[in-house]
Chains A and B, each alone.
Chain A
Amino acid sequence: SYELTQPPSVSVSPGQTASITCSGDNLGDKYACWYQQKPGQSPLLVIYHGRKRPSGIPERFSGSNSGNTATLTISGTQAMDEADYYCQAWDSSTVIFGGGTKLTVL
Chain B
Amino acid sequence: QVQLVQSGAEVKKPGASVKVSCKASGDTFTSFDINWVRQATGQGLEWMGWMNPDSGNTGYSQKFQGRVTMTRNTSISTAYMELSSLRSDDTAVYFCARARAGTLPYYFDYWGQGTLVTVSS
Using a CB–CB cutoff of 8 Å, the interface residues on chain A facing chain B are 30-33, 35, 37, 42-45, 48-50, 54, 86, 88-90, 93-100
Q: Nearest-CB distance from B67 to chain A (Å)?
A: 17
A42 x B111 contact (CB < 8 A)? yes
A43 x B111 contact (CB < 8 A)? yes
Residue count of chain B within 8 Å CB distance of chain A:
22
B47 x A48 contact (CB < 8 A)? no
A97 x B112 contact (CB < 8 A)? no
Q: Nearest-CB distance from A43 to chain B (Å)?
A: 6
Total A-B contacts with CB atoms under 8 angstroms apart: 60
A48 x B109 contact (CB < 8 A)? yes
Instruction: Indicate if B16 sits at the interface (CB-CB under 8 A).
Output: no
Most buried by A among B106, B107, B113: B107
Q: How far is the CA of A68 from the CA of B29 in the complex (A)?
A: 35
Given contacts A89-B105, A90-B106, contact A42 B114 (CB under 8 A): yes
A94 x B47 contact (CB < 8 A)? yes
B113 x A42 contact (CB < 8 A)? yes
Q: How far is the CA of A43 from the CA of B108 in the complex (A)?
A: 9
* 15 residue pairs bridging A and B, Cβ less than 8 Å apart: A33-B105, A42-B113, A43-B95, A43-B97, A44-B111, A45-B107, A45-B109, A48-B107, A54-B109, A88-B108, A89-B105, A90-B104, A94-B61, A95-B35, A97-B46
Instruction: Indicate if B59 sits at the interface (CB-CB under 8 A).
Output: yes
Q: Nearest-CB distance from B51 to chain A (Å)?
A: 13
Q: How far is the CA of A93 from the CA of B33 in the complex (A)?
A: 13
Instruction: Indicate if B45 sits at the interface (CB-CB under 8 A).
Output: yes
